[in-house]
Amino acid sequence: MKWLLRLPTGRILTGLVLAFGLSLGAQAADPPPAAKPTVESLAKELSELKKSHDDSNTKHSDNSSLGHAKGDSAWMLTSAAMVNIMLPGLALFYGGMVRRKNVLATMMQSMAALSVVGLYWVVCGYSLAFGPSVPWISIPGFEGGVVGWSWDLFFLKGIKADQALPAANISIYAHMVFQGMFAIITPALISGALAERIRFWPFCIFSILWVTFVYCPLAHMVWAFDWFYAVPVDLDKGLGGSAVGILGKMGALDFAGGTVVHIAAGAAALACILVLRNRNGYPQQPIHPNSMVLTLVGAGLLWFGWFGFNGGSATSSGTLATSAFVATQVAAAAAGLSWIVIEWLLKGKPTALGLASGIVAGLVAVTPASGFVNVAGAVSIGIISGAICYYAVSLKSVLGYDDSLDAFGVHGVGGFVGAILTGVFCFTSVNSLGADGFFAFKYRNDRVTEILGELGAAVTGVTDEARIEGLTKLIETRQGAADTAATNLDEAKAKLDEETKKEKPVEATVEALKKTRETAYMAKLKADGELGTVKELQSMLEARIKLAKDDKTPLTQLVIQTKAAVFAGVLAFVVSFGLAHLVQAMTLGNFTTDAESEMAGLDETEHGETGFDFGPSLNSVVGATTPTPRSANYPPTRKPKHFTLTVQGPDEKSLHDTWSKLCQATTEPNPDMKKIYPYVTTISGNRFRFRDGEPNQMKDALERALKPGLNGSITKVVVEA
């Protein structure tokens, strides 16, 4: 980890390292695991429970009995559609950041996941992720299921279209579709790290293998409950009430995929980067995006779709979905601002790429936390993740690894930061099914101290238990005062109504009664507030007692989140590293394309089409007379010729300076420059690589264009194949 010291992160990185150190050193106990399901010990109750479960499904199959579940299912399907639109959003986001000769190929790697992974998910992916646990492991610190399986979920052949998900207000079909969108977009994220150098079909093979051996097991470990068990893990909670995966049983919080989606995709991206080669010329030659317009439009679609990504994970259209929706909005805004402010301070100018990257970093980081944190926590996560991801992205220029579109720097690092910070900012007051993080403990303790100071001697006792006993009488007294105030308000309202209903009410009397009613109203507010304060203190004291009995500390959830994030990252990295080697071997080294095809561009070599390249080179390939894109059924009439022109004589700096001046926009461009510019693909030293064009004509035009700026230092221009 010595390379971390090279980053200019300053206080941010130092603080993060210290926080990790404290969390790992804390003596915090994991929540006691639920008992392992043993059918034998429950044999007497099996038939009765099975009958009850079948009766429940029969009841839910009647749409009229579902009540407001119709609204929840509609919200889930709407959310699934919003996540679906993230795929074209991601395609545009990535497509704008590559060179124009690779736009279509890059977008295909994202969009094809809708077909490749989408079909696989329906066939068996959903069963692997959410079926009953098949292997059950029990090692110190980790106990639970690793992956699931049920033949009823294979093609969903054993599931009725209106069958409800146990303990949820939605159908199994709706749950399957929504979760399938997560499985589809995750391997598409990985493609961003490998853009411009991987072949299409090998990546499709990798995607299927990766979803099978990385995504589905992680989804099961984090999100699987005993929905499809014959007997509940916990009879009191019933079916769907107990987590069965390793990380879920540990108590890890991942509301919408920080661990399962982003840490996994980021770790896989890094593994593939290390297995596969860099792009030709990287990092010596700068590689510029082709269209920030596409990238910003893609970022906007991702932001829109992310509301379904996070809000839909509430599985209902209620308050929790709204809370997740708001957290998503403010975190993205805060991270985008954080990123461009750092750019502004360090580089002097904010960039569109920086804004888009910051927005996505904030969305990634808030994903695991969105249903567990308040607005202030979401803003904090956004600001921190924007800053850390900015520095993480700068790593690739320091270390020289080729993360083409920053999939590891944004998704891997952002997901890890978000998972960790969830343990810092989570509140059970936001989601009772979550946990209390560092600031929840701090807030509770500060509030208890504040209330005790307000009540003074009215609360006796030193320990929390003794204080709760002493509060009983105080609550009774204040309850009586609140009831009296309510009665007085009712009487004041009744007298005012009686007076105003008279045929000729006395104005002075009406005014006096209005003042009496107002006084009674204010007295009721005060009494209710005082009673509420005492009950709040009682609730907080009871929570502190329970947490103390469970050996929970302010750092407990931070430790759990750290363990889960590291576990997921290591698992995804190791398995992905092996899968990348396997696919490379299976395809005889063709996971990455050859240098010649990369030079020509993956749009043509992989798909025989072009994206937004409407320049002369397209016309020369397809014989078109107008700059229009050709259709998929219009094959090229011939392969473009590739050749190199080597300029001998001038030094490289003078040559590059002259070329740069020729590339500047002018009212009267150099006529020779107009001839050669559409055909030049790359420049390395004194070598100009051309794609198509007549070599001798290009040689003469290049020499004429360069000669005035080089003061006759060109000795010869050589044509090479």
Paired strand residues for 648: 716
Judge if 292 and 374 occupy the same domain. yes
CA max distance for the chain:
114
Q: What is the pLDDT of residue 10?
A: 38
Short-list 535, 527, 526, 532, CA closest to 471: 535
Whether 243 and 372 share a structural domain: yes
Cα 539 from chain centroid? Answer: 34
Percent of the chain with pLDDT over 70: 86
**Rounded average pLDDT over 521-536:** 95
Report, as an integer, the average pLDDT of 212-235.
Answer: 96
* pLDDT given for residue 517 in this prediction: 95
**What is the three-state SS of 631-695?**
CCCCCCCCCCCEEEEEEECCCHHHHHHHHHHHCCCCCCCCHHHHHHHHHEEEEECCEEEEECCCH
372 shares its domain with 483: no
Residues 452 and 412 in one domain: no
| Mean pLDDT for the chain overall | 86
Query: What is d(CA 423, CA 654) in angstroms, rounded to the nearest whole number?
Result: 56
Q: What are phi and psi of 220, to 5 degrees?
A: -65, -45
Q: Output the pLDDT for position 618.
A: 37
Spatial CB neighbours of 420, under 8 Å, sequence gap ≥ 6: 19, 20, 558, 561, 562, 565
Q: What is the rounded distance in angstroms from the CA atom of residue 373 to the CA atom of residue 366? A: 9
Q: Are 202 and 105 a contacting pair, CB within 8 Å?
A: no
Per-residue pLDDT at 625: 36
The dihedrals phi and psi of 682, each to the nearest 5 degrees, come to: -140, 160
Cβ atoms of residues 269 and 192 within 8 Å: yes
Q: What pLDDT does 639 receive?
A: 62
Cβ atoms within 10 Å of 504's Cβ, excluding its own: 5
Per-residue pLDDT tens digits for 384-420: 999 999 999 998 988 989 999 999 999 999 999 999 9
pLDDT tops 90 at residue 31: no
pLDDT band at 135 (very low <50, low <70, confident <90, very high): confident
CA pair distance 152, 365, nearest whole angstrom: 35
Calculate what percentage of the chain has a pLDDT beyond 90: 67
Domain membership flag for residue 631: no
Tokens of 625: 């007379």
Residue position matching structure tokens 């007298």 = 495
Q: How many residues in total does the chain contain?
A: 721
Residue-wise pLDDT for 657-707, tens only, equals 888 888 887 777 888 988 898 889 888 888 999 988 889 999 999 999 998
Q: What is the span of the domain harbouring residue 715?
A: 642-720
Please state the pTM of the whole predicted model. 0.78
Q: Are 109 and 189 members of one domain? A: yes
User: In angstroms, rounded to a whole number, what is the distance separating the alpha carbons of residues 452 and 457?
Assistant: 9
Q: Are 526 and 519 in contact (CB under 8 A)?
A: no
Q: Which of 301-315, 564-578, 580-594, 601-615 has the lowest mean pLDDT?
A: 601-615
- Residues 411, 389 contacting (CB under 8 angstroms): no
Tell me the Cα Rg of the chain. Answer: 32
596 falls within a domain: no
pLDDT reported for residue 284: 84
Q: Is the predicted pLDDT of residue 23 greater than 50, yes or no?
A: no
CATH number for the domain spanning 665: value is: 3.30.70
pLDDT category at 332 given cuts 50, 70, 90 is very high
Query: For 70-81, how does the pLDDT look when each residue is reduced to its tens digit (9 = 90+)?
Result: 789 899 999 999
Residue 68, token pair as written in the block: 């407001």
Does 589 map to a domain? no
> For the segment 457-482, what is each residue's pLDDT rounded down to a tens digit?
888 888 999 999 888 889 999 999 99
Q: If pLDDT is split at 50, 70 and 90, which confidence band does 142 have?
A: confident
- In a domain? residue 343: yes
Q: The dihedral of CA 597, 602, 605, 610: what is its sign?
A: negative
Sequence-separated (6 or more) residues with CB below 8 Å from residue 288: 99
Of residues 69 and 29, more confidently modeled: 69
495, with CB counted inside 10 A (0-12, 13-18, 19+), is: middle
- Continuous segment of H or E residues that includes residue 138: strand 136-139
Q: Among the listed ranges 4-18, 140-154, 695-709, which one has the minimum average pLDDT value?
A: 4-18
Task: Give every CB contact of residue 258 below 8 A, 6+ residues apart in sequence.
Answer: 364, 365, 367, 368, 369, 415, 418, 419, 422, 565
Sign of the C-alpha dihedral computed for residues 156, 157, 163 and 168 taken in this order: negative
Over residues 297-314, mean pLDDT: 96
| Whether residue 486 is found in the same domain as residue 543 | yes
Query: What pLDDT sits at residue 321?
Result: 94
* Over residues 117-128, mean pLDDT: 98
- Tell whether 604 is covered by a domain: no
Cα pseudo-dihedral 180, 181, 186, 191, rounded to 10: 120
Asked whether residue 307 falls in the same domain as residue 426, the answer is: yes
> Do 484 and 351 sit in the same domain of this protein?
no
- Classify residue 145: in a domain, yes or no: yes
Residue-level pLDDT at 635 = 46
In the predicted model, what is the mean pLDDT of residues 28-47? Answer: 42
Q: Which of 178, 242, 189 is nearest to 211 (CA)?
A: 189
For residues 228 and 588, what is the distance between their CA atoms, to the nearest angstrom? 42
One domain for residues 561 and 533? no
The one-character DSSP state at 133 is B
Residues 302 and 388 in one domain: yes
Structure tokens at 219: 């989804």
For the cut 80, the answer to whether the pLDDT of residue 501 exceeds it is yes
433 with 488, same domain: the answer is no
Query: Of the ranges 20-29, 36-45, 311-320, 367-376, which one carries the lowest mean pLDDT score?
Result: 20-29
Judged by phi (left if over 0) then psi (alpha if -120 to 50, else beta), residue 238 lies in left
**Residue 184: which H helix or E strand, with range?**
helix 172-191
- Co-location of 228 and 373 in the same domain: yes
Judge whether 675 lies within some domain. Answer: yes
* Peptide bond before residue 289 is cis, with ω within 30 degrees of 0: no
Of 535, 565, 580, the domain-final residue = 580
pLDDT of res. 368: 97
Q: What is the pLDDT of residue 633?
A: 45
Q: Report the SS3 class of residue 225.
A: strand
Q: What CA–CA distances, in Å, run from 299 to 78, 269, 302, 584? A: 20, 20, 5, 32
Q: From CA 721, how far away is CA 719, in angstroms rounded?
A: 7
Give the model's confidence band at 17: pLDDT under 50 very low, under 70 low, under 90 confident, else very high. very low
Q: 636-652: per-residue pLDDT in tens?
A: 445 667 899 999 989 88
Q: Beta-carbon neighbour count of residue 307 at 10 Å?
A: 22
**Average pLDDT for 287-296:** 93
Tell me if 446 is assigned to some domain.
yes
Apex 538 CA angle, 536 and 542, nearest 5 = 115
**How many domains, the chain?**
3
- Token code pair at residue 288: 């510029």
Could you tell me which residue, 691 or 222, shows the higher pLDDT? Answer: 222
